[in-house]
Structure 1
Amino acid sequence: MRYFDSIVIGAGAAGLMCAATAGQRGRQVAVLDHANKVGKKILMSGGGRCNFTNYNVEPRHYLSENAHFCISALRRYTQQDFLELVNKYQLEYHEKTLGQLFCNNRAKDILNILLAECEQAGVTIETRCQIHTIEKTEGGFELTTGLGPMACESLVIATGGPSIPTLGATGFGYDVAQQFGLRVTERQASLVPFTLKNDALSLAQALAGVALPVSISCRGQTFKEAMLFTHKGLSGPAVLQITNYWYFGDEVEIDLLPDQDLATLITQWQREGAKSELKTLLSRILPKRLVSHWLDFPELAASIASKAIAQLSKSDIELLVSYFHHWRITPSGTEGYKTAEVTRGGVSTDELSSKTFEAKLVPGLYFIGEVIDVTGWLGGYNFQWAWSSGYCAGQYV
């Protein structure tokens, strides 16, 4: 039987952060992972550059049944704290848009920092280690694993959710929570492309590859970023963001001209005596292929598409505004966990201490990172949650 003060199951962002933090306190820590190598999600994130945090992290960027749960950890370990860590290793990074921070070189630079911190803290890391059973004992926990029996005083579950199963992601953490009687909230693939069907799918397929800035809304939440038409439906940052708020059957509204007022533009063209066709003028401010297909909508094609700008009536303009500023669709679903960046939902925050991340009813059992019902926006927020929750739990395990 191998004994450790703390065992962390899951060698991802949260798990490695927690292990390094606990090890620096003098705790004997082991990190166990069933995959053949550590940090797989870190390595593939941000197109291989890892969007590791955001300058503008605030609690409002996170979803949970308890909106207040994340506040304590985000205050105790901020994005500036993580930047101090990467600066210590002289990591070169840059800001893209909306405060998003990426490595200049490769995502492996972030993983190497975490591994260096673990090494300095004397952390043991074991890969290809299947966990067969977990039992609560008087002194902590006993595990049967593919590498033999192990025991610990504190057990940390940092296994994330089932998003991107090709990287080895599973629902293991939820199973552990339920084994010990903890409630797990409803889960759904999130930060994921929409799928469409019927006429909407045909339209998306005809426009596959076309990207443009949009404003997209659902359930009172709006994001203004890029959208991409695909052969399956809709993708791009704006779409991924809104899926955090979307539930099956919900309608979404998309403004294809978020920085323009089409009614004002048309009135201006009319005043200027524009001779060009509507399609030509619209193609100056929107992708030409999109304009052609939009004007093919039956209601527009029948009454508006062939008219000269000067002939457009007030009702014609209102109809155009509804199609370009208020396109409403009901997605048939999403691409699911296969391509989802995160899992929305997880171990209920009601079951955990927001200070220590310990289960209230199971002393010594901790949950951190994505496995908890805390889901961040796209843009480095979920990595910051991993750093913050991992660090805070690491102070106690």
Structure 2
Amino acid sequence: MKEEKQASTDHFAAETWDVIIVGAGAAGLMCSATAGYRGKRVLVIDHAPKAAAKIRISGGGKCNFTNVNAAPENYVCSNPHFVKSALSRYPSREFIDLVDRHGLEYEERELGKLFCSNRASDLIQILRTECDWAQVEFALKTEIEKVISQEGEGFRLRTSQGDMRCRKLVIASGALSFAKLKASDFGYRIARQFGLNVIATRPGLVPLNFSGKWLQRFSDLAGLSLDVRVSCRERSFQEAMLFTHQGLSGPAILQISNYWRHGDSIEIDLLPNLDVLSELKAIRQQNSNFHHWLNTFWPKRFTQMWLNLYPAPARLSNAGDEALETLAEQLQRWSLYPSEDGGYDKAEVTLGGVDTNEISSKTFESKRCANLYFIGEVLDVTGQLGGYNFQWAWASAVACGNAL
């Protein structure tokens, strides 16, 4: 794959750029190309040696780059109206049109998720090509030591490659998830430096861990997966749940983790596609084997664990209606208390971030500091699992790029 084009250090420091974008991830690349096509002279700065590291490893190396169903209700934000403008102006079909023009091979999976058919680097190549066509330049392996406002005349960035100046500065530096990619709080520090509020952050789309007896039980089941519906704080998701050596993971758990807070319970419907009480009454009438019936839906190891927790006879012929109602309740409203989340090392995203009440929803410019912009995950906007976070990166980047 072609290496990123990088000019000399002297070239970076010798002039004032129209725009400097901090962060060569999804949002940064999309914003830089958009601004470059509008005739802006754009420099992208990143501490990493290559652009788009998170794209490269996401989705098992195939990158779930958008979702055909992306809508405002798929996002967690303290101001839920904030996302509407950008998402409506750059919906998922716009990004799909872009990758179609480049001939990207992709596949649609369950619930509207779109993945690269071959590898995520195919998508990175598209973004890099767009940047090349827009004459964007890159300063990679470059650390930013200080950002200095030049009182209405833009900004001066003190970097490991010398001072760099710009009229407008875009922060697309991401958040705290994917620590192995050297994620940092840089964007939050810049926001606070210029007087913006930052909503407290926490890991999102993250496994939930357990302690004590539940940790041992789930560890014994590690690797097993069930189709369930998980609920918390009036939100529910029906997808796969995976048992791990630390507790629970899988899409259903990652989704609900965006809403779970320490001390909350999660409620699990273990047979979400059934009217369980009616099924139990039928088993009683037919004198069928209840244990065998469970094994038609669950791995035997889980059935055994469940029956150890909630003993029930193999035959329900002597069970009254009240006993069947209790059994149905256990099966469809299994209440558990996670001890903690898996932390930023295991998180796919970061909840919280730069307060969107401080940012224009149309241009992404700070309301407190002219010519300073924030886009992508650094903001207090978090998508659900399934390509929604990448769609936010594209949408916020395009809105900002068109305003620069």
TMscore range, shorter length: over 0.9
Is 1:378 the counterpart of 2:390? The answer is no
| Residues 287 and 315 in structure 2, CA contact (< 8 A), matched pair in contact too | no
| Alignment match, 1:101 | 114
Q: What whole-Å deviation, never above 9, does each CA across 1:189-242 have from its counterpart, x for those lacking one?
A: 000000011122122112111101100000000001110010000000000000
Is 1:147 the counterpart of 2:154? The answer is no
Describe the SS at the equivalent of 2:65: strand
Is 1:88 the counterpart of 2:101? The answer is yes
In structure 2, what is the Cα distance between the partners aligned to 1:386 and 1:273? Answer: 56
| Alignment match, 1:281 | 293
Describe the SS at the equivalent of 1:185: strand
Aligned partner (choices 175, 199, 209) of residue 213 of structure 2: 199
Where in structure 1 do 4 or more consecutive aligned residues deviate above 3 Å? none
Flag structure 1 segments of 5+ consecutive residues without an equivalent.
Answer: none
| Alignment match, 2:278 | 264
In structure 2, what is the Cα distance between the partners aligned to 1:57 and 1:280? Answer: 41
Is 1:27 the counterpart of 2:60? The answer is no
Tell me by how many angstroms 1:270 deviates: 2.1
Describe the SS at the equivalent of 2:239: strand
Tell me by how many angstroms 1:311 deviates: 2.5
In structure 2, what is the Cα distance between the partners aligned to 1:387 and 1:76? Answer: 11
Flag structure 2 segments of 5+ consecutive residues without an equivalent.
Answer: 1-12
Q: What whole-Å deviation, never above 9, does each CA across 1:96-129 have from its counterpart, x for those lacking one?
A: 0000001111111111111000001110112110
| Alignment match, 1:70 | 83
| Alignment match, 2:123 | 110
Task: Give the TM-score of the pair, scaled to structure 2.
Answer: 0.95
Describe the SS at the equivalent of 2:403: coil
In structure 2, what is the Cα distance between the partners aligned to 1:199 and 1:256? Answer: 20
Is 1:293 the counterpart of 2:305? The answer is yes
Describe the SS at the equivalent of 1:253: strand
Q: What whole-Å deviation, never above 9, does each CA across 1:295-328 have from its counterpart, x for those lacking one?
A: 101xx33xx2x45231233233223222211110
In structure 2, what is the Cα distance between the partners aligned to 1:262 and 1:18? Answer: 50
| Alignment match, 2:347 | 340
| Alignment match, 1:353 | 360
Q: What whole-Å deviation, never above 9, does each CA across 1:60-113 have from its counterpart, x for those lacking one?
A: 111111100010000111111101110110111111000000111111111111
* Letter paired with 2:281: T
| Alignment match, 1:330 | 337
Please give the residue correspondences for 1:128-139 in structure 2 after superposition, counting only pairs within 5 Å. 128-138=141-151, 139=153
In structure 2, what is the Cα distance between the partners aligned to 1:202 and 1:314? Answer: 34
In structure 2, what is the Cα distance between the partners aligned to 1:67 and 1:77? Answer: 17
Deviation larger for 381-390 or 319-328: 319-328
Is 1:158 the counterpart of 2:172? The answer is yes
Describe the SS at the equivalent of 1:296: helix
Aligned partner (choices 225, 228, 244) of residue 211 of structure 1: 225
In structure 2, what is the Cα distance between the partners aligned to 1:105 and 1:98? Answer: 20
Tell me by how many angstroms 1:273 deviates: 3.1
Describe the SS at the equivalent of 2:259: coil
| Alignment match, 2:189 | 175
Tell me by how many angstroms 1:5 deviates: 0.7
Tell me by how many angstroms 1:164 deviates: 1.0
Q: What whole-Å deviation, never above 9, does each CA across 1:140-162 have from its counterpart, x for those lacking one?
A: 00011011110000000001111
Aligned partner (choices 59, 63, 69) of residue 50 of structure 1: 63
Aligned partner (choices 369, 378, 402) of residue 395 of structure 1: 402
Tell me by how many angstroms 1:283 deviates: 0.8
In structure 2, what is the Cα distance between the partners aligned to 1:207 and 1:257? Answer: 18
Tell me by how many angstroms 1:387 deviates: 0.2
Aligned length: 390
| Residues 188 and 198 in structure 2, CA contact (< 8 A), matched pair in contact too | yes
| Alignment match, 2:240 | 226
* Letter paired with 1:41: K
Is 1:249 the counterpart of 2:263? The answer is yes
Is 1:364 the counterpart of 2:371? The answer is yes
Describe the SS at the equivalent of 1:209: coil
Describe the SS at the equivalent of 2:252: helix
Tell me by how many angstroms 1:186 deviates: 1.3
Please give the residue correspondences for 1:116-127 in structure 2 after superposition, counting only pairs within 5 Å. 116-127=129-140
* Letter paired with 1:388: A
In structure 2, what is the Cα distance between the partners aligned to 1:85 and 1:39? Answer: 17
Describe the SS at the equivalent of 2:360: coil
Tell me by how many angstroms 1:353 deviates: 0.5
Describe the SS at the equivalent of 1:345: strand
Describe the SS at the equivalent of 1:170: coil
Task: Give the TM-score of the pair, scaled to structure 1.
Answer: 0.96
Describe the SS at the equivalent of 1:174: helix
In structure 2, what is the Cα distance between the partners aligned to 1:257 and 1:203? Answer: 20
